[in-house]
Structure formats: C-alpha cells, structure tokens
A and B are shown apart, each in its own frame.
Chain A
C-alpha cells in the first residue's frame, strides 16, 4: 500500500534555530498537507499544497510540494518555544473518493 516516510522522527533544537523536516514516498500525490499537533489536542492544518513545485509560506513556516510529486518539506525559521509539538505530513493520492495518508510525525522540542 501507499506509504509516507517522514523524517526526522524527532528533533531537539535551540530557540532561534531553523528547522527542516520532510516526507517522501515512492508514490505520486495530488495534495500535500502539513499539520501541527499540541499535546492533548487535535492536529491543526498549517499549510496545504496543491501543485507540483508550489512553495507556500505561513509566517515563519515554509513548505514546498516536490516537483516529482513524491515529496514535500516543511521549514520553520527562527524557532520559538511555542513551536514545540508533533508535525505530521499527509498526502492525498486521489482516486474517485480521495485517499489521505499520514506520516508518522516529527516531534519537535525547543530549548529556550
């Protein structure tokens, strides 16, 4: 079946550092989504990407839809303590009903 490989699994960084995480697959996706989940809460959508090559920013966050449609990355610039959480990528591989699969998440810890 379809699989997304999300890396790294976890990151421990100093406040102010930039962060980069990515998702790759052997399959082609129509849509890439990036979510952030705080402890005890549901995931919240950060960025949605709909076209190959698309580069989209949301404040300090930037995400890109890979040209091959098989990968995506998320960058966070100048990290702050409230960036702590788990970041999930998700890919939609279409079909008549639409099918969405999630990566296993990147756990981000920020040291003040």
Chain B
C-alpha cells in the first residue's frame, strides 16, 4: 500500500487567494509529480521533480509553482487562485525510472 498523503482533501476558496496544496510521501521516492484532472477526464502533468532542489514544468501549462526542499515533501502553490483553477490535483511518486507511480487521493479545489 502506497504511503502518499495529500492535504487538504477538499478546498473551497475565493478568487485571488494564495493557497498551498500539500503532498508528502514516506517511501523515500526520489521522483514526485503533480497532475491536474477534471472529473472523469484525462490526467495532465503540470509539475515534476527528480529529487531535492529539482523541479520541472510538465506538459500542461500551469500558473502554479512547486518546491522540493525535502525528499518527502512536494507542495504546490497558487499565488492568486482563479475559477479556472477549479479542478482535482493529484500528487504521485515513484522510485525508479520504470517503477509504477503511486498516487495520493487528491485535493479537490473549487475557486469561487
């Protein structure tokens, strides 16, 4: 069973607020990922990290930013939330280049 945790589970905020979505894993995985997914739709990679102090943008342009100061922690920040940011955000991690991804349960974000 994967040990990857996302908080909060649900978040409703007003436009213009700054928010940080938390993601932590206790498996010592070096690679971590953030995906954005609208309900029932495909997964879009928005950020990834191959290790501490490494962050890269994914395939889908995103106004969010990430940091990787510790191996186990990969938070995602939105400086000024907008209704277009309403979506589910999934964090994932894996150990090696051919290993499966382990996903958290996601944060469902609604921006009003």
Contacts and interface: CB of A to CB of B under 8 A. Distances in A.
Interface stretch (A17-25, A55-63, A88-96): A88-96
Given A40-B106, A107-B40, A98 B97 contact: yes
Q: For the side of the interface on A, what is the size category?
A: 20 to 34
A35 B102 CA distance: 10
A94 B43 contact: no
Interface in A5-36: 30-31, 33, 35
* Interface of B: prevailing SS: loop
Given A94-B97, A94-B98, A104-B42, A41 B105 contact: yes
B19 interface: no
B100 A88 contact: no
Q: For the side of the interface on B, what is the size category?
A: 20 to 34
Given A42-B105, A44-B103, A98-B31, A105 B42 contact: yes
Contacts of A48: 100
Interface string A69-111: 0000000000000000010101010111110101111010000
Contacts, number: 57
Nearest to B96: A98
B99 to A, nearest CB: 8
A45 interface: yes
Interface of B: 6, 31, 39-43, 50, 59, 88, 90, 92, 96-98, 100-106, 108
13 contacts: A33-B101, A39-B40, A40-B106, A42-B6, A42-B92, A43-B43, A43-B103, A86-B40, A90-B101, A92-B98, A94-B97, A96-B97, A105-B41
